[in-house]
Amino acid sequence: MPELPEVETVRRGLEKSILNKKITEVIIKRKNVVKEPGVGQFKKGLIGKKVKGIIRRAKLIIIKLENNKYLIIHLRIAGWLEYGKQMEKARVVFKLSNEKYLNYMDQRLLGELRLRNSYEDLNFIKTLGPEPFDINSKQFQEIITKRKTNIKTLLLNQKVIAGIGNIYAQEALFLSGIDPQRPAYSLSNKEAGSLLKKIILVLKEGIKYGGSSVDTYRNIEGSKGGMEKRLKVYGRENEPCFSCGKAIAKIALAGRGTCFCAYCQK
């Protein structure tokens, strides 16, 4: 799924659905998705515990429990969480004290669940860059203008800036009129400032419309997002640019599909 807006949408949904509910049962159908601890300890640490908080950091959902343990969920590419009835295709099911279920769905089995005593010390989290909302344009300039990689690939590097993925990177670059292939250091201060503004704008728009359901992503209620209809370049190869009308191009950067308008983005 799941880039920052989708994960934030999930976080808000969880806050409404499972906060202060107790986990009464954990059914693990695919034990490989539970990365730590072992499935026995995983269940034992969760069953009978009340949910005390839902945190998002980058693309991670962090569920705080009353025993001060944290359930850390990374949805990776195809994961989502669905609340309500128990689902047949769920990989892990959490039964709650109100007789409802939280289903961990993940067609491709690339997602990860962890139960830990803390989350800040998880290596991935420790090495994350700042949230886009937490930096100003000067800090953003300092981050990107030292780097040689193309700007689009840099935006996907979670250690540089956290939460942006392949959809929103392409959208932000289109909105700021910057060619995704440009070396990061070649951006002027003005361009860097504009890019950060557009990143924040598009992420906020994504949150406002409940995320993008390009493929498997669903919100807590199992519904699609509304943002996928508002995307300007992602998934629009050969379709007309909304600004100039010429065909949207698609190239690969660091192995990832990248759509952009070669006329509007310089």
Partner DNA sequence: AATGGGACCTGCGCGC
Partner DNA sequence: TGCGCGCAGGTCCCAT
Kindly state whether residue 256 participates in binding DNA, applying the rule CB under 7 A. Answer: yes
Q: What six digits make up the tokens of 41?
A: 């300890």
Among 59, 114, 152, 236, binds DNA (CB under 7 A): 59
Query: CA–CA separation, 56 vs 45, rounded Å?
Result: 21
2 is an active site residue: yes
Kindly state whether residue 213 participates in binding DNA, applying the rule CB under 7 A. Answer: yes
Kindly state whether residue 57 participates in binding DNA, applying the rule CB under 7 A. Answer: no
66 is an active site residue: no
Name the minimum Å distance from CB 252 to DNA. 7
Helix/strand number for the chain, H first, E second: 7, 11
Answer whether 34's CB lies under 8 Å from 101's CB. Answer: no
Q: What six digits make up the tokens of 231?
A: 């995307």
For the beta carbon of residue 29, count every other beta carbon within 10 angstroms. Answer: 12
By beta-carbon proximity to DNA, the closer residue of 47 and 77 is 77
> Which range touches DNA (CB under 7 A), out of 12-20, 63-71, 190-198, 213-221?
213-221
Query: CA–CA separation, 65 vs 50, rounded Å?
Result: 6
Which string of x and - marks every residue 1-40 that binds DNA (by CB under 7 A)?
A: xxx--x-------------------------x--------
Task: Locate the DSSP E strands across the chain.
Answer: 23-28, 34-36, 51-57, 60-65, 70-74, 79-84, 92-96, 101-106, 112-116, 249-253, 256-260
Kindly state whether residue 77 participates in binding DNA, applying the rule CB under 7 A. Answer: yes
Residue 258 phi/psi, 5-degree rounding, is: -140, 115
Kindly state whether residue 108 participates in binding DNA, applying the rule CB under 7 A. Answer: yes
15 is an active site residue: no
Which string of x and - marks every residue 143-162 that binds DNA (by CB under 7 A)?
A: ---xxxxx--x--x-x----
11 is an active site residue: no
Kindly state whether residue 257 participates in binding DNA, applying the rule CB under 7 A. Answer: yes
By beta-carbon proximity to DNA, the closer residue of 64 and 74 is 74
Nearest to 103 by CA among 13, 228, 209, 211: 13
Active-site residue set: 2-3, 59, 256
By the criterion CB under 7 A, which residues form the site for DNA?
1-3, 6, 32, 58-59, 74, 76-78, 107-110, 123-124, 146-150, 153, 156, 158, 165-167, 211-217, 254-257
